[in-house]
Amino acid sequence: MHMNMTARTGEEAASAALIVGHGLIGGSLRARLREAAELPVVCIGRRHRELPDYRALDLASETGRAALDELVADLRPRCAVLAHGPSDVTWIDKNEADAAAVHCGVAAIMARSATPVVMISTDNVFSGARGAYRPGDPAEPANGYGRVKARAESIALASRSALVLRVSLVYGWHRPGQRATFAQRCLEAAAEGRPMDAPTDQLFTPIHVRDVSVVTAAVPLWSGRACGRTLSGRAAPGSLPSPAGPSPACPG
């Protein structure tokens, strides 16, 4: 399969960035990369969408993952961002093996290809028994979602060209066809004067989807440099050096 995935930047052809997942985070990141650098971006989701350089693949199937493998070999992306589902914690708890097939299968494909990868992960890799977790603390997930993401992290990081970004609860307005965020559902219920059920025993560190995409976009904008590290989602975007400077994830 050949799509028109290259563009000229000055004298050089820039290889495309690949975003696996076109949901809340993937959709926001795609928009940011396209407007920030006119970087060619290829995006993958499950459902059919009328978007340029978008492929619909069901990564829950062997056929879908084989097609991803082929696409990566063909495209040789400068960087891939893994922002795909399944992402519903309740669904994953009931379908852990199916969720693992997608998350671990995709991570393995990317690791084999040696493509620089940013994997969007979660604080669910920790049990939550205490607070103030640091990126180097051992993962000890207490639910299926955390177990699946922790396994996928290990597979991705084994390639030494991956960066894991763990974020907590992402908020922002959803785009058409995407699921509404918890914050949006709260605001809509309040605006309509409707009651809404919400957990009272969970703590999050919310982060706006725009901040996630600003931080994540730094890697493709740095020609895809990343290196076997895990970050938590608290970095202030302004603390990042410019794309021309050294990568914070690659000391030396």
Ligand X SMILES: NC(=O)c1ccc[n+]([C@@H]2O[C@H](COP(=O)([O-])OP(=O)(O)OC[C@H]3O[C@@H](n4cnc5c(N)ncnc54)[C@H](OP(=O)(O)O)[C@@H]3O)[C@@H](O)[C@H]2O)c1
- Note the residues at the interface with ligand X (CB under 6 A): 21-26, 45-47, 57-60, 83-87, 102, 120, 122, 167, 169-170, 178-179
Shortest Cβ 132–ligand X spacing (Å): 18
Give the separation between CA 115 and CA 134, rounded to whole angstroms.
26
* First-residue to last-residue Cα distance in the chain: 38
- Minimum CB distance to ligand X, residue 6 (Å): 24
- In the complex, minimum distance from the CB of residue 65 to ligand X, in angstroms, rounded to a whole number: 9
Q: Which residue has the tokens 């050294």?
A: 246
Q: Which is nearer to ligand X, 168 or 228 (by Cβ)?
A: 168
CB of 8 to ligand X, least distance (A): 29
Q: Which is closer to ligand X, CB of 32 or CB of 46? A: 46
For the CB of residue 21, give the shortest distance to ligand X in the complex, in Å.
4
14/110 with CB nearer ligand X: 110
The CA–CA distances, whole Å, from 252 to 91, 227, 245, 249 equal 42, 11, 12, 9
Comparison of 59 and 71: residue with beta carbon closer to ligand X: 59
CA dihedral 72, 75, 76, 80 (to 10 degrees): -60
SS3 71: helix
- Shortest CB 4 distance to ligand X, Å: 22
- C-beta separation of 25 from 83 below 8 A: yes
87 vs 113, beta carbon nearer ligand X: 87
CA distance 91 to 105: 18
Least separation in angstroms between CB 151 and ligand X: 13
Give the residue ranges of DSSP H helices in the chain. 24-37, 62-75, 89-94, 96-113, 144-157, 182-191, 209-221
Matching residue, tokens 């004067």: 193
Q: Which is nearer to ligand X, 6 or 70 (CB)?
A: 70
| β pairing state of 7-9 and 12-14 | antiparallel
Residue nearest to ligand X (CB): 23
Q: Residue 36 or 169: which CB sits closer to ligand X?
A: 169
CB 178 within 8 A of CB 185: no
